[in-house]
Structure 1
Amino acid sequence: MSNIQIAGGGIGGLAAALACARSGHAVTVCERAAEVSEVGAGVQLGPNVVKLLQGWGLESALRQVAAYPAQLQVLSATTASQLGRLQLGAAFEQRYGAPYLTIHRADLHGLLLQAAREVPNIALYFDATLTGFAQTDELVSAEYSNDLQVESDILVGADGGWSTVRRLLLDDGVPQPTGHLAYRAMVKQSDLPAYLRSDQVTAWLGPRLHVVQYPVRGGTWLNVVAIVHGQVQGEMSHWDHSANATDLQQYMQVACKQLRDLIGAIGYWRLWPLSIRPPMQGAHEHAKERVVLLGDAAHPMLPYLAQGAGMAIEDASALAWALATPTNQPNGVAQQLQRYAQARWQRNAQVQRRAIRNGKIFHATGLLRWGRNTAMRLLGERLLDLPWLYGGAYR
């Protein structure tokens, strides 16, 4: 069994810790934040991801905090007319072996953290920022803030889109702005007028914008994300900050009354400029010798397929699977990590490409928008159901 250190204690890092520890490995998680926290709002989890969490014994914990929408509907942002829908619920669960759920990001992080704290072979350190590492044929030695030094067989970089591990390992630049801004908010459903409350996933598609809403926290809260075209300057290019609600309302002037009412009913928003890398080009972007990248550190992606957290959790499962492969080679760990990289990079690249494509379709104008709406009305369920994705969970 290996000793594994993980830089990053977010969703991907904790998922990797759980998956690997359950296989008998000793895991050390080093998180830069001084206290437990997870920024963000809602997360959608398809059955490809939910079945992995269930396999780690988290089904009961999910039931306590998630929502289980019965339908995904796509509406025109300008007219509120329905363009297409996908039935979720029991039939969807039967088709793919697990349900489709929506959850607050902090709740998902919290249940992963609680599960990690209950595993004796996981050590958790906070206020520990990676400052450097070196690897030899035998081990990886990493230095963190507060004079923490960790030696291990493997270093996992799960430290987000602006990954320090990636910068030191690959030195291939940073994610680039897309020109899209995400306004995110959470609101109690009881604080909304009845006609604005919802128990399903709704995507509103408009010219150069779209809005997604869905229930979280057992349905008592509504998560709303509005994506528009725009730019910001400086450090905001890679983090989120308080947003001006009036700015978002200006973007929504072309929207129908119901959507404008929803946006207007929410007074507090967070602004998150979206930056990404090109889709993965090969296994070398996942692993090099004894260092491996996972989640956004390897493949930051646009949220237009709702699979960012999901791919990180799939990565975690695949890493544990690869490390379970017996090897008698002198550099067996590196071979195991290459097996992980080969298993993951093409699927992650496919999701990245589809998310980019979805952004163009969601924000279409002119003839492309007309063609999209026509295709959705004719083939809605067939276009929205994605067997290659939902039926493709790893190990």
Structure 2
Amino acid sequence: MTRELLVAGGGIGGLAAAVAARRAGWEARVFEQAAAFSEVGAGIQLGPNATRILHEWDLLQGELEQLVVAPSRLRARDGVDGADLGVLELGGAMRQRYGAPYLTVHRADLQAALLRAAQSSGVRLHSGSRLGGVEEQGKVVTARTGEARLVEAEALVAADGVWSSLRVEVAGDAPTQRTGQLAYRGLVRQQDLPQALRSDEVTVWLAPRMHLVTYPVRGGDWLNAVCVVEGTQPGDPRDWDLAASRAQLDAALGPVCAAVRERVASVPQWSLWVLHARPPVGSADEMARGRVALLGDAAHPMRPYLAQGAGMAIEDAREMQRVLAIADDRIVDVPTAFRRYALNRWQRVARVQERSIRNGTIFHASGPLRMARNAAMRVLGQRLLDQPWLYK
């Protein structure tokens, strides 16, 4: 029997869900409201919990294999005095510990690989089309496209991001809230940097009310930089690519060392987005209802302090693959399978959300908390930076 999944959203989470559905033996159709399947933003980090899934899906081969980077180490430094705080060896050490690598990659490169996998597996792709008006009747879920066409299938996954218009169909809650933080992002060619600023590692600079992280992407040819500061920004908060000036960022940095300012100054152009979030997921009911399930940021937007936004979406998709493989509407119906998906995911993603919030407080600490953080990291650096509960 042919079973079909509708996917709202053609980003990393939506395409991963479609790939997972095909691997589970389902047909899949992806509806992306943008005119093209493209990704804004810059780099992302992928821990072993995500890369082992990408390896299972044969995505870490071919073109993407040439574009990902396995950084040599993660280094934490104090952003005020420049001192080293702790180091976590990545590279071969990470692969040996967890059976999968720690990788950095440009978002667009990962999305392109997922798009190729979706196309080659027979996923039907619809750009410039947004799903809404979801209704369930019997063993069918129906949605209306932006062109007022009706589409139906056995199940629907909403992977339409932090501003999900379909989330209300499941969770019925209010929109996301501002966090009071801004994330500036930029890219610079490594060959354009002086030797002292080039890097093959992930470096995190921690300072009061801000942090800066840099790491290589695109085969190491480019250095990605993300600087998160406290503040607000006028304009449409849904715009993920607001114009930003270096003067704005310089003013928000605060009392940081020359090394941080030098790295900020080395990036030729910055853009920013206003960070929004939700409280950690409180129950399985917030992730699935009937024949509709939430995935990725639509279900659990992540603050960028644990580098797990993409990783949790990929994990969601892998769990979706597992439950779709057993959902035949005879022995196991779709609502039961989606309930199992939600039960198996909500506590883990809530823990990641909670840890990300806590990390934000630690990263941006000042006064006695900063002193305690630095002292602890100097003594327990690798133990504090490693995350076995997450990467295993």
What TM-score comes out, normalization by structure 2 length? 0.97
- Which residue pairs with 2:311 in the alignment? 310
Structure 1 residue 135 displacement after superposition: 1.0
- Which residue pairs with 2:45 in the alignment? 44
Tell me, in whole angstroms, the C-alpha distance in 1 between the residues paired with 2:316 and 2:341.
Answer: 8
Q: Which amino acid in the other structure matches residue 231 of structure 2? A: G
- Check if 1:73 corresponds to 2:66: no
Distance 1:255-1:131 versus aligned 2 partners, 3 A rule: same
Distance 1:66-1:159 versus aligned 2 partners, 3 A rule: same
Q: Which moved more, 1:241-250 or 1:166-175?
A: 166-175
Query: How many residues are treated as equivalent by the alignment?
Result: 390
Q: Kindly indicate whether the alpha-carbon contact (under 8 Å) linking 2:181 and 2:231 is maintained by their aligned counterparts in 1.
A: yes
Q: Give percent identity, aligned residues only.
A: 50
- Check if 1:207 corresponds to 2:218: no
Q: Which amino acid in the other structure matches residue 63 of structure 1? A: E
Tell me, in whole angstroms, the C-alpha distance in 1 between the residues paired with 2:238 and 2:44.
Answer: 21
1:292-328, Cα deviation, whole Å (9 max, x unpaired): 0000000001010000000000000001101222666
- 1:216-227 alignment to 2 at 5 Å? 216-227=217-228
Structure 1 residue 367 displacement after superposition: 0.5
- Which residue pairs with 1:333 in the alignment? 334
- Which residue pairs with 2:299 in the alignment? 298
Q: Kindly indicate whether the alpha-carbon contact (under 8 Å) linking 1:240 and 1:273 is maintained by their aligned counterparts in 2.
A: no
Tell me, in whole angstroms, the C-alpha distance in 1 between the residues paired with 2:61 and 2:132.
Answer: 38
Structure 2 residue matching 1:339: 3-state secondary structure: helix
Q: Which moved more, 1:355-364 or 1:87-96?
A: 87-96
Structure 1 residue 254 displacement after superposition: 1.4
Distance 1:328-1:166 versus aligned 2 partners, 3 A rule: closer
Tell me, in whole angstroms, the C-alpha distance in 1 between the residues paired with 2:366 and 2:40.
Answer: 33
Identify unmatched segments of 5+ residues in structure 1: none
Structure 1 residue 169 displacement after superposition: 3.5
Q: Kindly indicate whether the alpha-carbon contact (under 8 Å) linking 1:216 and 1:222 is maintained by their aligned counterparts in 2.
A: yes
Structure 1 residue 251 displacement after superposition: 2.0
Structure 2 residue matching 1:4: 3-state secondary structure: strand
Q: Which moved more, 1:4-13 or 1:232-241?
A: 232-241
Q: Which amino acid in the other structure matches residue 272 of structure 1? A: W
Structure 2 residue matching 1:167: 3-state secondary structure: helix
Tell me, in whole angstroms, the C-alpha distance in 2 between the residues paired with 1:287 and 1:303.
Answer: 24
Q: Kindly indicate whether the alpha-carbon contact (under 8 Å) linking 2:188 and 2:266 is maintained by their aligned counterparts in 1.
A: no
Structure 1 residue 249 displacement after superposition: 1.2
Structure 1 residue 11 displacement after superposition: 0.1
- Which residue pairs with 2:10 in the alignment? 9
Tell me, in whole angstroms, the C-alpha distance in 1 between the residues paired with 2:133 and 2:66.
Answer: 39
- Which residue pairs with 1:31 in the alignment? 32
- Which residue pairs with 1:110 in the alignment? 112
- 1:119-158 alignment to 2 at 5 Å? 119-120=121-122, 122-158=123-159
- Which residue pairs with 1:95 in the alignment? 97
Structure 1 residue 31 displacement after superposition: 0.6
Structure 1 residue matching 2:380: 3-state secondary structure: helix
Structure 1 residue 146 displacement after superposition: 2.5
1:127-180, Cα deviation, whole Å (9 max, x unpaired): 001232111221111111124321000010000011011034433011100111
Structure 1 residue 24 displacement after superposition: 1.1
- 1:262-273 alignment to 2 at 5 Å? 262-273=263-274
Identify unmatched segments of 5+ residues in structure 2: none
Tell me, in whole angstroms, the C-alpha distance in 2 between the residues paired with 1:303 and 1:343.
Answer: 23
Tell me, in whole angstroms, the C-alpha distance in 2 between the residues paired with 1:155 and 1:326.
Answer: 13
Tell me, in whole angstroms, the C-alpha distance in 2 between the residues paired with 1:350 and 1:227.
Answer: 22
Q: Which moved more, 1:135-144 or 1:49-58?
A: 135-144
1:58-102, Cα deviation, whole Å (9 max, x unpaired): 121332111110100000111111000100111210110100000
- Check if 1:388 corresponds to 2:377: no
Structure 1 residue matching 2:302: 3-state secondary structure: coil
Tell me, in whole angstroms, the C-alpha distance in 2 between the residues paired with 1:73 and 1:119.
Answer: 39
Structure 2 residue matching 1:261: 3-state secondary structure: helix
Tell me, in whole angstroms, the C-alpha distance in 2 between the residues paired with 1:165 and 1:253.
Answer: 40
1:28-81, Cα deviation, whole Å (9 max, x unpaired): 111111112101110100011000001011121332111110100000111111
Structure 2 residue matching 1:235: 3-state secondary structure: coil
- Which residue pairs with 1:190 in the alignment? 191
Tell me, in whole angstroms, the C-alpha distance in 2 between the residues paired with 1:288 and 1:167.
Answer: 11
What TM-score comes out, normalization by structure 1 length? 0.96
- Which residue pairs with 1:172 in the alignment? 173
Q: Kindly indicate whether the alpha-carbon contact (under 8 Å) linking 1:132 and 1:168 is maintained by their aligned counterparts in 2.
A: no
Structure 1 residue matching 2:160: 3-state secondary structure: coil
Q: Kindly indicate whether the alpha-carbon contact (under 8 Å) linking 1:137 and 1:331 is maintained by their aligned counterparts in 2.
A: no
Tell me, in whole angstroms, the C-alpha distance in 1 between the residues paired with 2:239 and 2:173.
Answer: 17
1:226-281, Cα deviation, whole Å (9 max, x unpaired): 01000123422663311111111122351111211111122311111111000000
- Which residue pairs with 1:85 in the alignment? 87
Q: Kindly indicate whether the alpha-carbon contact (under 8 Å) linking 2:209 and 2:229 is maintained by their aligned counterparts in 1.
A: yes
Q: Kindly indicate whether the alpha-carbon contact (under 8 Å) linking 1:84 and 1:381 is maintained by their aligned counterparts in 2.
A: yes
- Which residue pairs with 1:60 in the alignment? 61
Tell me, in whole angstroms, the C-alpha distance in 2 between the residues paired with 1:375 and 1:108.
Answer: 35
Q: Kindly indicate whether the alpha-carbon contact (under 8 Å) linking 2:288 and 2:342 is maintained by their aligned counterparts in 1.
A: yes
Q: Which moved more, 1:99-108 or 1:124-133?
A: 124-133
Tell me, in whole angstroms, the C-alpha distance in 1 between the residues paired with 2:331 and 2:121.
Answer: 30
